[in-house]
Amino acid sequence: MARSLSLFVLKGKNVIDSAVQNTSLLLCEPDDGLRESLSMVLKSLYKTNSVSHMDQVLAGLSKFNSDLLILDIDLGEKKILNLYEEIKNLSPNSKIISLYVFDKKAENIDSRIRKLSNAVLYKPLDINHFLETVKRVNNELLLE
């Protein structure tokens, strides 16, 4: 099975300032380097835990009681829509940000993923846009 290259792009020298939140965040990212990089950035802003595979998300959600999930998903996985349903059953108030590479196989499922997510970001990631999106979704969570 071929793996897609996961990258994020730094644009400019913008610093996203935010107070440390009480939000518990679970990051699912299969690429070790990107997972570590995103975790480092997020840990300064949120209580962050991470897993490396979609099969670990539900256990991670149960263990860490996460308010916000950032899921790098593989659209080729047949069980992906079931995962979103299980997340909502386990933790109905959790917010979800979905990350994936938009390609041919994404065309058929993109609209369904958008309905199940609070935000969708396509790879490669612009780190500033990523952090602003996380901040926006977290603010939505805090307003509920």
pTM: 0.83
Task: Report the pLDDT value the prediction gives residue 61, as an integer from 0 to 100.
Answer: 94
Our count of domains for the chain comes to: 1
Residue numbers of the domain that contains 112:
22-143
Instruction: Please list the ranges in the chain whose pLDDT falls under 70.
Output: 1-21
Task: Report the pLDDT value the prediction gives residue 79, as an integer from 0 to 100.
Answer: 86
Residue 8 within any structural domain of the chain? no
Please report the sign of the dihedral spanned by the C-alpha atoms of residue 93, residue 42, residue 135, residue 46. Answer: positive
Residue 96 within any structural domain of the chain? yes
Residue 11 within any structural domain of the chain? no
Residue 16 within any structural domain of the chain? no
Which CATH number belongs to the domain containing residue 119 in this structure?
3.40.50.2300
Q: Is 116 helix (H, G, I), strand (E, B) or coil?
A: helix
